[in-house]
């Protein structure tokens, strides 16, 4: 998946699930859009489905410092580099 594809999917997910419309890629999601720790956990669940495998506790903890859409995309890219997206996952949030 390219960075653009990831961004597109993340933004669609944010609109559908979090009702956050077109956030700036470097917006602080917590401060500007009320994205809280509960949302972060929900997001991780979606990322697991997107990648097709369960994340380790360590990987999940790394996500707790994420504040922006760009950071989310970088996080997904890093995971995908470590463990490639499984073909069966459909590589999609949706």
Partner 1 sequence: MERRVVITACSSITPIGRTKEEILHNLVHGISGVKALREDGLLSPYIHSKVFGTIDYPIVYDFKRQHRKTMGPVAYYACQVAKEVIEGAGLDQAFVTSGRLGVAFGSTHGSPTVQRDIYRTFFGASRTEFSTIGAVDYLKSMVHTTAVNITKMFGITGRVISSCTACTTSSQSIGYGYEAIKYGMQDAMLCGGADEYDTTTVAVFDNLLACSTAFNDSPHLTPRPFDTKRDGLVVGEGAGAVMLEEYGYARKRGAPVLAEVIGFACNNNGGDLILPNLNGIRDTIRIGLKDAKLNADEMDFISAHATGTKMGDVIEAQAIYDVYGNLPGVVGLKSYMGHTMGSCGAIETIIAIYLMEEGFIAPTLNLDEIDERCAMINHVAKLREHPIRVATIQNFAFGGVNTSLIIKKMP
Interface residues with partner 1 (CB under 8 A)? 18-19, 34, 38-39, 41-42, 45, 48-49, 53-54
Specify the residue, 14 or 75, whose C-beta has the smaller distance to partner 1. 14
Specify the residue, 60 or 67, whose C-beta has the smaller distance to partner 1. 60
Specify the residue, 12 or 41, whose C-beta has the smaller distance to partner 1. 41
Q: Which helix (H) or strand (E) holds 6?
A: helix 3-18
């Amino acid at each position: 998946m390219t960075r653009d594809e990831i961004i597109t999917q993340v933004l669609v997910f944010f609109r559908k699930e979090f009702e956050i419309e077109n956030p700036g890629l470097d917006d602080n999601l917590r401060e500007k859009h009320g994205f809280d720790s509960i949302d972060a956990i929900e997001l991780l669940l979606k990322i697991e489905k997107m990648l097709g495998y369960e994340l380790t506790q360590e990987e999940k903890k790394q996500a707790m410092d994420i504040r922006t859409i760009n950071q989310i995309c970088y996080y997904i890219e890093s995971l995908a580099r470590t463990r490639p997206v499984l073909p069966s996952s459909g590589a999609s949030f949706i």
